[in-house]
Amino acid sequence: MSNELSNKSTFIEQAEAIILENLANEQFGVSELAEAMHMSRSNLLRKIKKQTKLSASQFIRQIRLQEAMTLLKETSSTVSEISYQVGFGSTSYFIKCFREQYGFPPGEVGKGIVAIEKEKTQTNFLKRYRWPIIATTTIVLIVASYLLFKKKDAIGQLEIEKSIAILPFKNESSDSTNLYFVNGLMESALYNLQKIEDLRVISRTSVEKYRKTDKGIPEIAKELNVNYLVEGSGQRIGNQVLLNIQLIEASSDTPIWVEQYNQEVVDIFALQNDVAKKIADAIEAVVTPAELEQIGKKPTENLLAYDYYLQALEPYLSRTKEGLDKAIPLFQKAVEQDSQFALAYANLAISYYYLDIFQQQKQYTEVINNYADKALLYDSKNDISLISKALYYMHTEEYRLALPHLEKALEYNPNSAAVVQVLSRLYSIYIPDTGKYLKNALMGVQLDVGVSDSVAQSFIYLDLSNALAQNGFIKKAMIYIDKTLDYDSKNFYAPHLKAFIKYAINQDIEELKKVLEKEFEKDSTRLDILQDIAKLYYFQEDHERAYVYYEKFVKAKRENGLNIYPQEDAKIALVYKKMGFEERASHFFNAYANYCERDKSIYKSASMALKYAYEGNIELGIEQLKVFASQDHYQYWILLFIEKDPLMKPLKGHPDYKATIKKIKDKFWENHAELKKTLEENKLI
């Protein structure tokens, strides 16, 4: 294999052997390698980077591509066949990665140019990797050892050696309009450091609460669980930027690097890059050539465009309709000034995505796509550009096409809480996989560990509680749903989830209905609660009460143009049929049948089983139920409610029904036991 080190360590040899053993498994990634080597992910990352100067995902990719080169030379297999043999789920991605690795496509192997190219690549190991290798099509999973919780909470805490938080910079100018510029400096410093995999950088939401704090450095560092803090203050006076910045070691409350900058605005990007590099040097973080290249990129050469961009950031980050409406014209002014401003295009795409997210009739599909494509055109290695394209695919319900873009985004920005949040959402709802959902929820807690005593922390714990519940860790889920309410007693969704967690413990459907009806009385716009109340009456075959709630739900969806909960249409159809509304029942059942055809998730076979049961096609219904019984990582709620669903009644008389239901339950608990073992081995539960 090319680029082998003459004195390869036992550790690297062991890692290579494990990767080769799992070569054809496209799901084998960083987390799986860490688990196989009985290491935490953080230790694996550091050790691989120290010995190879590559990130862990780049290292895995290198082994796959080296093996592909060997197979291309020694076998008669096609490029497509070899791409799957070495763990690529897509031939086109394999070809693209192979070209970036070797400088020519795999189809050229054996045509006389390989020896020359090989000699060139071996002459300069680092030069070859000045471009980051594109990540595999599987998501970079998070091993549990990344978590930052105290042992007294049910999830263990591991301290990260090179962890850092950048506190909000202070505006030293009496001109309040100067604030956006100072905030922009802080945002840029954060963004540059996030690109370094050897650092763990706490998110912006975690540090925002310290903007006007009187707390000292040791107290803040303890709350954020970091070893280093960055403080800064600055102002803009005409064409001059004045910036004071210091890196503080938390354990001694001592600055270990201090710098005063007095530069022209035209040098703002050089200033930002210098800050990131000097902080990394002071902490002795390993920075790869690829990361240095990413840090050194200028977002734009046009300072007016950049100024508009900075003005847009604060309203954009609010994610409210009002904020987005204010940010969009500013981003548009930015791209008018610089037609190749990738970050501005990406943020425009993301802004329109969030404006359109729950609308049944989408208005901005092409707008999102056009802006995302422009962002990628002008910077294909920018994580925000990649996120914007991933959100476009989520907008068009092509969820699996979003995954490669999100993985590449994590490759270029390993500390991106934004990517992890999107992945959590994908695995929770659109590409259901409870194990991956839990891993990403845990990663989200790590990156946002510092937002304690805030609404943001409440939602982070809400997500973790939901992920734990979906995996059957009900007692742990209850611990974190209580934490959710401790941090914010007014959390919008927590009482709803807590009611279902309690139901999982005591199986009291009357209590569940009572709690949900009480919550709905507080806020009659809660369609999530409304459809759940209707469903509970449906489970009890109280069709009249179910009809009352479903009617409200259907009316609200229609009046607001919403496309939500399509999987519930079969239940609505059955209720309407029982109430004698045959035509309306037919409408909803046809909508459900269309949903089943479009569904690409692991739940499709379960949905199809209900469809066939409704139609009276018992054999096909049981056949689909058996298909579902072979799936992995479905939600615990399936076990709690599948047999209560009246749509299942026609299937219950079939001789294979009980055995199939038992297999579904057994499969869930097998997956639960495997996940529990992994978490216990890493001292997380």
**pLDDT, tens digit, 9 for 90 and up, residues 341-363:** 999 999 999 999 999 886 767 89
Q: How many residues comprise the chain?
A: 685
At 122 the pLDDT is 32
Q: How far apart are the first and last CA of the chain?
A: 41
Joined tokens for residue 127: 């030069």
pLDDT at 210 over 90: no
Band the pLDDT of 655: cuts 50, 70, 90. Answer: very high
Averaged pLDDT, 489-500: 90
CA atoms within 13 A on the CB side of 452: 12
CB 199 within 8 A of CB 328: no
pLDDT at 485 over 80: yes
- Most confident of the following: 31-40, 532-541, 630-639: 532-541
Is residue 234 helix, strand or coil? strand
Name the phi and psi angles at 209, rounded to 5: -70, -15
pLDDT at 150 over 70: no
Averaged pLDDT, 285-310: 84
At 483 the pLDDT is 87
Is residue 634 helix, strand or coil? coil
Is 346 or 426 the better-scoring residue by pLDDT? 346
Nearest alpha carbon to residue 397 among 367, 375, 423, 365? 365
pLDDT at 82 over 90: no
At 138 the pLDDT is 22
The model's pLDDT over 625-642, given as tens digits with 9 standing for 90+, comes to 999 999 988 899 999 999
pLDDT at 160 over 60: no
pLDDT at 40 over 90: no
Output DSSP code: residue 286: -
Joined tokens for residue 146: 């990344």
Could you tell me how many helices (H) and strands (E) the chain has, helices first?
33, 6
Q: Are β-strands 240-249 and 254-264 bridged in parallel, bridged antiparallel, or unpaired?
A: antiparallel
Is 150 or 15 the better-scoring residue by pLDDT? 15
Joined tokens for residue 489: 């007693």
At 589 the pLDDT is 96
Q: Which residues contact 237 (CB under 8 A, 6 or more apart)?
A: 173
Q: Which helix (H) or strand (E) holds 30?
A: helix 30-36
pLDDT at 131 over 50: no
Task: Please state, in angstroms and rounded to a whole number, the distance separating the CA atoms of residues 31 and 63.
Answer: 16
Q: Which residue is associated with the tokens 């014209």?
A: 329
pLDDT at 117 over 50: no
Averaged pLDDT, 104-111: 71
CB 229 within 8 A of CB 218: no
Band the pLDDT of 10: cuts 50, 70, 90. Answer: confident
Averaged pLDDT, 75-103: 77
Mean residue pLDDT of the chain comes to: 81
Band the pLDDT of 481: cuts 50, 70, 90. Answer: very high
**pTM value > 0.75:** no
Averaged pLDDT, 612-617: 96
Task: Please state, in angstroms and rounded to a whole number, the distance separating the CA atoms of residues 306 and 285.
Answer: 29
Task: Please state, in angstroms and rounded to a whole number, the distance separating the CA atoms of residues 221 and 332.
Answer: 38
Task: Please state, in angstroms and rounded to a whole number, the distance separating the CA atoms of residues 419 and 415.
Answer: 9
**In order of start, what are the domains of the chain with their CATH numbers?**
10-128 (1.10.10.60), 149-297 (3.40.50.10070), 298-378 (1.25.40)
